[in-house]
């Protein structure tokens, strides 16, 4: 399905943590409803203003009842700073949904015991994922890793089995990396999103345990449709665009394990 493009209207842009925001927008195009793991590109500035490129942000939550999309994002540069300035009733250009996302029907048909693993802002797309799994009666176990103070976990709890937290500082939960509390051999499938070193470490544990692992890669994107080759990643099948062929890949394909 081709991505749609429209002027989206802001309902809320809330502060969740010092550098984390939750943007809620109206997306009336139900023919282009997103699913878990897909992303949109956001442009909250004019063509003559820097930054020029749109910013890609994954879907945190799609609410079909209110036709709204929530984006949980980190303010990390000029583009996201401009997005953070959006206020209620502001409009901006929103294009999507894009990417393959997680194939939840396929996952449900093949796997029973599922672990979902997220690191930092990499937990953002995992909420829509656990929502879709829980709606089909499959509550996965959740493993999360944060630097210090976790955010956004309260809404995961009703949709998950066990919820595990690890923090680098030891402030909450296990003191250390999330790989210190994950035992892939307890599961049939591990679904992961977070910083690349974390995903590689999770993939390595899964590989050693013989457990399939799907990872959602994050790359800076421009066109979002596989045209500019700006988000190329190396796979066992050659170079692929994360935006067009991903962002979800089998970890063996992109990390070799
Ligand atoms: Fe242009 Fe992926 S962003 S090819």
Question: Ligand 1: which residues within 6 Å by Cβ?
Answer: 221-224, 226-231, 241, 243
**Among 223, 235, 239, 247, which residue has the most ligand 1 atoms within 8 Å of its CB, making it the best to mutate?**
223
Q: If you compute the radius of gyration of the chain from its CA atoms, what whole number of angstroms results?
A: 18
Single out the residue of 63, 84, 101, 78 nearest to residue 215, CA to CA: 101
Single out the residue of 232, 36, 45, 55 nearest to residue 138, CA to CA: 36
231 Cα nearest atom in ligand 1 = 2
Q: Which residues contact 39 (CB under 8 A, 6 or more apart)?
A: 56, 57, 58, 59, 96, 97, 98, 99, 125, 224, 243, 247
Single out the residue of 63, 9, 60 nearest to residue 39, CA to CA: 60
Q: What is the pLDDT along the chain (257 residues), one digit of tens a residue?
A: 778 888 999 999 999 999 999 999 999 888 999 999 999 999 888 777 777 778 899 999 999 999 999 999 999 988 899 999 999 999 999 999 999 999 999 999 999 999 999 999 999 999 999 999 999 999 999 999 999 999 999 999 999 999 999 999 999 999 999 999 999 999 999 999 999 999 999 999 999 999 999 999 988 887 888 888 889 999 999 999 999 999 999 999 999 87
Ligand 1, atom 4, lies closest to the CA of: 226
Is 221 within 8 Å of 56 (Cβ atoms)? yes
Question: How far does residue 169's CA lie from ligand 1's centre (Å)?
Answer: 36
> Would the pTM count as exceeding 0.85?
yes
């Amino acid at each position: 399905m081709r991505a749609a493009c429209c002027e989206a209207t802001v309902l809320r842009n809330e502060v969740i943590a010092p550098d984390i925001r939750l943007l809620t927008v109206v997306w009336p195009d139900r023919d282009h409803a997103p699913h878990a793991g897909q992303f949109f590109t956001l442009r909250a500035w004019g063509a003559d203003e820097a930054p020029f490129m749109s910013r890609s942000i994954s879907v945190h939550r799609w609410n079909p009842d209110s036709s709204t999309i929530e984006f949980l994002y980190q303010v990390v540069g000029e583009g996201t700073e401009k997005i953070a300035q959006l206020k209620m009733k502001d409009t901006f250009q929103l294009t999507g949904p894009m990417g393959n996302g997680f194939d939840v029907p396929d996952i449900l048909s093949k796997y029973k015991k599922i672990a979902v693993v997220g690191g930092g802002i990499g937990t953002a797309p995992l909420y829509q994922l656990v929502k879709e799994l829980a709606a089909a009666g499959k509550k996965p176990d959740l493993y999360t890793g944060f630097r210090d103070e976790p955010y956004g976990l309260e809404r995961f709890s009703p949709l998950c089995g066990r919820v595990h937290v690890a923090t680098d500082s030891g402030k909450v939960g296990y003191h250390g990396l999330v790989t210190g509390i994950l035992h892939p051999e307890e599961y049939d499938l591990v679904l992961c999103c977070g910083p690349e070193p974390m995903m590689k470490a999770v993939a390595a544990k899964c590989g050693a345990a013989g457990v399939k692992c799907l990872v959602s890669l994050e790359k800076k994107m421009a066109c979002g449709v596989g045209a500019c080759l700006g988000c190329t990643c190396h796979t066992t099948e050659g170079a692929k665009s994360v935006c067009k062929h991903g962002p979800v890949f089998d970890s063996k394909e992109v990390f070799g394990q």
